[in-house]
Chain A
Amino acid sequence: MTVPVAVEDLLRELAPQVLGTLVRRHGAFDACEDAVQEALLAAAVQWPEEGLPENARGWLLTVATRRLTDQWRSERARRDREAAVALREVPAGEDGPGEDRPGDRDDTLTLLFLCCHPALTASSQVALTLRAVGGLTTAQIARAFLVPEATMAQRISRAKQRIKSAGARFAPPPPAERDERLRAVLQVLYLIFNEGYTASSGPDLQRADLTAEAIRLARAVHGLLPGDGEVTGLLALMLLTDARRPARTGADGLLVPLSEQDRTRWDAASIAEGTGLITDALTWSPPGPYQVQAAIAAVHAEAARPGDTDWPQILALYRLLSHLAPNPMITLNEAVALAMVHGPRAGLGLLKTLEGDERLSEHHRLAAVRAHLLEQAGDTAAARDAYREAARGTTSLPEQRYLEARIARLDGEDTMETTTRTLDVPGASLHYEVRGSGPVLLLICGGIYDAAGYAGLAGLLADRYTVVTYDRRGNSRSPLAGPPGQQDVAVHADDASRLLGEVADGPAFVFGNSSGAQIALDLAARHPEQVRAVVAHEPPLLGLLPDADHWETVISDVERAYQEGGVGPAMGVFGAAMGMAGGEGEAEEAGVAHEAGEGGRPSPEMLEMFARFEKNTDFFIGYEVPGFGRHVPDVEALRGSPVAITVAVGERSAGEPPHRAGLALAERLGKPAETYPGDHGGFGAEAPAFAAGLAKAFVS
């Protein structure tokens, strides 16, 4: 049956009025409700064929009253009442269309109170409201909730029986109960709205009509109670949420998160109306949960781009909401806002308070938010686990598809292609690797490390940068052209410069650790045109330390030990002098623990890498330590450099020589050192947090 839209709209507008009148006259809400439903069905068949009656409301009232009479007539036991009803039958002309009937308006509200009676379950409240106030047929409601019509008919009939046996009368609730009953009505309307809104994707598109119905009913209640801030808030919330509907699913039907929605597709008229309503309400009404949620939706709506979102404001509003109506779902949202303002770790901290919370019925939501924040924090492995947990826990197919897509995306980042190339430089041939896309970020390793030791960090940054890593000359896969000789930081900086010349079109971001940090700084001093910003992590500029003389002695001792006994004794002298808890060796192990993954067993590639590191040790102690250990940076050039230079030190390496040297350099540059996670080897052991720190440093 197809009913013209105009007819259907009129019927649904008149339905609660006719029902209200009928119930006031005859009592017996359940029988009247059935009679009105039959009158509506009759109208839906006849009006499109025969044209609208002159007095549509009177027509419905007459037909409904006849049905009521028929119904009672058929029940022998009600004979007496039948006569009474027949006498009171309303002639069609009694109600003129232009007549003012203030009773109708109150009837709609009274009906809503009745349909949302506390004796009913939520699903019954929803069904009854849609039929008695919304004027939808049982078949329409059944379709919207994807159950057989018989099931829905039973649910509605039982709801009416319960109302009857609860002794509810067709009258406004007593003043003492009114606020609570109104809250129940608003909750039912919001439930109807969400049923429609969340269904507005995939094969359930028809259910989306429920959002329109909920908005229509909320508008009606707002018209009746314009001075109620929460009613206004609910209407505003619905309008502002519904405005996003065109953008919430992609062309492939996949859910699009708020931060990735095409905001030009948001409905500007709905946003304007919703924002106007809530802005006004907040000036005269004490804030309530719907108003605060509407205000949050309005703050989102006013940001033309996700980056423009006023997150501190949203965080403040969620805190207010938590205070007004404490609820774990609100805490989840608060954690997201907190992460946007104070970083993902802060958000994850708040999530911890929800673990084991019995009130959180949908645990997959906690897992989904945790996954999202872990991904932001760069902890890919843990994010993947949490996404999996969420995907398994949800009963929503679109949400499951979305979560599985996120997992696939993380997997894709892991298996991101790495291009391996060679660059010939004077006196050596450099092995280098390129990953990802975006502005060029050069990672310069220190000590015995090579490109493979930075694979973890590089992988984490490859979604935003073209990450370049390389084996420094004389190490691993970058052989020297001739026999090894004493190494000079300037030559290594020249290698880095040539490498950037090969891979970058403009100035690049550069990170260096340990001796790699010395190279990064020298590169910035000599070739500022090639470098946008440098993060130099714990450069062992021993000459800057107050006990520089002691270090000169150490270096001489190392040289002598190497000449006399080779790598073993020389490393012994060096290690004893440095006295580092997280020295190169231990940092490696920490890196392995992070990267080896399940079972903690290193892969064959990793074993090869360690074999290379072992070989590099000879070159490091014999040919690099003297030159790098005595290297003095060009502080003047660095101070006046247009390159943004950040000196970084480890959170857990305080007191160690490279950490102290970093602080000494920072002081000379007149800019405090930044603290990075972990110790001297934090880039490996704390790769995710470290990557997040770098990305942040390079943005600002």
Chain B
Amino acid sequence: MKYMLLIFNRPGFVEELTEQERQELFGEVGEIMKEITERGELVVTEALADPSTTRVVRRKDGLPAVTDGPFVEAKEHLAGYLTVDCDSLERAVEIASRWPDVRFGGRMEVRPVMHHAGSEM
């Protein structure tokens, strides 16, 4: 069963950490990544660039219009995600619970990924 773990945090919060806290944070992420890689659970992971680099597409006057990303400082943004393939929702939640951003005021969302298998009902 695949789950996507979405990482939400406050933009720039890493800059405010002490060097030691930063080392800890990256160390913990590295540890989790190593574990889920070795267990054959990691499908894909990406970190996203700063929200100020965003392009937003909206419909305007019947056409898609592009604007540059939010200049107002967002309180929270989608910082990255990882997709894992594991045996249970509990395991996916366990991985999310250990993600260090949570300790620094961020949050994780665990969402099941839709699949194409189906049984006739």
Contacts and interface: CB of A to CB of B under 8 A. Distances in A.
Interface of A: 121-124, 127, 145-148, 151-158, 195, 197-199, 201-204, 207, 244, 248, 255-258, 261, 368-369, 372, 395-400, 402
B39 A155 contact: yes
B20 interface: no
Nearest to B87: A121
Given A151-B40, A154-B38, A398 B118 contact: yes
Contacts of B38: 154, 158
- In the A-B complex, list the 4 residue pairs whose CB atoms are closest, starting with the nearest: A155-B40, A398-B118, A154-B40, A198-B117
B117 A151 contact: no
Residue in B2, B39, B44 with the greatest tally of chain A CB atoms within 10 Å: B39
Given A244-B120, A248-B120, 13 more contacts: A121-B87, A145-B85, A151-B40, A154-B39, A198-B117, A201-B118, A204-B116, A256-B120, A257-B120, A257-B121, A395-B112, A396-B117, A397-B114
Nearest to B43: A147
B34 to A, nearest CB: 11
Residue in B40, B42, B85, B119 with the greatest tally of chain A CB atoms within 10 Å: B40
Contact of A158 (B2, B39, B117): B39
A397 B1 CA distance: 14
A204 B117 contact: yes
Interface string B24-44: 000000000000011111111
A398 B40 contact: no
A271 B40 CA distance: 38
Contacts of B75: none
A206 B112 CA distance: 23
Contact of A156 (B40, B43, B119): B40
Given A123-B87, A395-B113, A151 B42 contact: yes
B60 interface: no
Contacts of B37: 154
B59 interface: no
Contacts of B39: 154-155, 158
Contacts of A204: 116-117
B121 A372 contact: yes
A359 to B, nearest CB: 14
A398 B43 CA distance: 23
15 contacts: A151-B43, A153-B40, A154-B39, A158-B38, A195-B117, A198-B119, A199-B117, A248-B120, A255-B118, A256-B120, A395-B1, A395-B115, A396-B114, A397-B116, A402-B120
Contacts of B120: 244, 248, 255-258, 261, 402
Nearest to A249: B120
What interface size band does chain B fall in?
A: 20 to 34
B63 to A, nearest CB: 30
A138 to B, nearest CB: 11
Nearest to A393: B112
B117 A398 contact: yes
Contacts of A399: 118-119, 121
Contact of B121 (A153, A157, A368): A368
A122 to B, nearest CB: 6
B114 A400 contact: yes
Contact of A396 (B86, B87, B115): B115
Nearest to A127: B40
A201 B86 CA distance: 23
Contacts of B116: 199, 201-204, 396-398
B118 A158 contact: no
Contacts of B43: 147-148, 151
A398 B121 CA distance: 11
Contacts of B115: 146, 395-397
Nearest to A124: B40
Given A151-B41, A152-B40, A158-B38, A397 B87 contact: no
Contacts of A397: 114-116, 118
A452 to B, nearest CB: 36
Interface in B56-97: 85-87
A127 to B, nearest CB: 8
A81 B2 CA distance: 42
Contacts of A203: 116
Contacts of A207: 117
B43 to A, nearest CB: 5
Contacts of A127: 40
A635 B23 CA distance: 96
Contacts of B40: 124, 127, 147, 151-158
Contacts of A151: 40-43, 85
Residue in B1, B44, B119, B121 with the greatest tally of chain A CB atoms within 10 Å: B121
A480 to B, nearest CB: 53
Nearest to B37: A154
Contacts of A157: 40
Contacts of A156: 40
A659 to B, nearest CB: 41
A612 B72 CA distance: 61
A154 B33 CA distance: 13
B114 A395 contact: yes
Contacts of B121: 255, 257, 368-369, 372, 399, 402
Contacts of A261: 120
A258 B113 CA distance: 27
Interface in B1-23: 1-2
A195 B118 CA distance: 10
